[in-house]
């Protein structure tokens, strides 16, 4: 086993991996009907992201208000309007609006 130097970069990579894993779990829990457990996973992922200053890249996949993981049509109503998309959280009623712009890299 080679020893890997754990620099700042690697810590961020690990954080990102954890966040990915937590969001995947959150999605599974929604489908299983465990809304509360799902929220906990999202909250945890967000906390890790904050601590490591890592962008989660999951901005539109959860409710910013109650941290429900959005799994349409189970717990979110998605409407696309002219140039924007609105997501209504069915758990707390919060409406998030985002512009419909393709992200380019």
Which parts of this chain interact with Zn ion (CB under 5 A)?
Answer: 63, 65-66, 68, 89, 91-92, 94
Residue bearing tokens 């998309």: 85
> CA-CA distance, 31 to 94, in Å (whole number)?
20
> CA-CA distance, 60 to 46, in Å (whole number)?
13
Residue 28 vs 88, nearer CB to Zn ion: 88
Shortest Å distance, C-beta 99 to Zn ion? 20
Residue 22 vs 67, nearer CB to Zn ion: 67
Shortest Å distance, C-beta 65 to Zn ion? 4
Shortest Å distance, C-beta 18 to Zn ion? 23
> CA-CA distance, 102 to 8, in Å (whole number)?
31
Residue 15 vs 67, nearer CB to Zn ion: 67
Residue 12 vs 59, nearer CB to Zn ion: 59
> CA-CA distance, 28 to 33, in Å (whole number)?
9
Shortest Å distance, C-beta 59 to Zn ion? 14
């Amino acid at each position: 086993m080679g020893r890997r130097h754990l620099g700042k970069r690697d810590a961020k990579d690990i954080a990102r991996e954890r966040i990915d894993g937590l969001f995947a779990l959150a999605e599974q829990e929604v489908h299983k009907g465990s809304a509360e457990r799902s929220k906990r996973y999202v909250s945890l992922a967000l906390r890790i992201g904050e601590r490591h200053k890592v962008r989660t890249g999951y901005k539109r996949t959860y409710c910013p208000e109650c941290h429900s993981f959005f799994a349409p049509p189970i717990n979110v109503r998605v409407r696309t309007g002219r140039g924007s998309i609105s997501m209504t959280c069915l758990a707390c009623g919060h409406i998030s609006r985002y512009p419909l712009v393709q992200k380019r890299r």
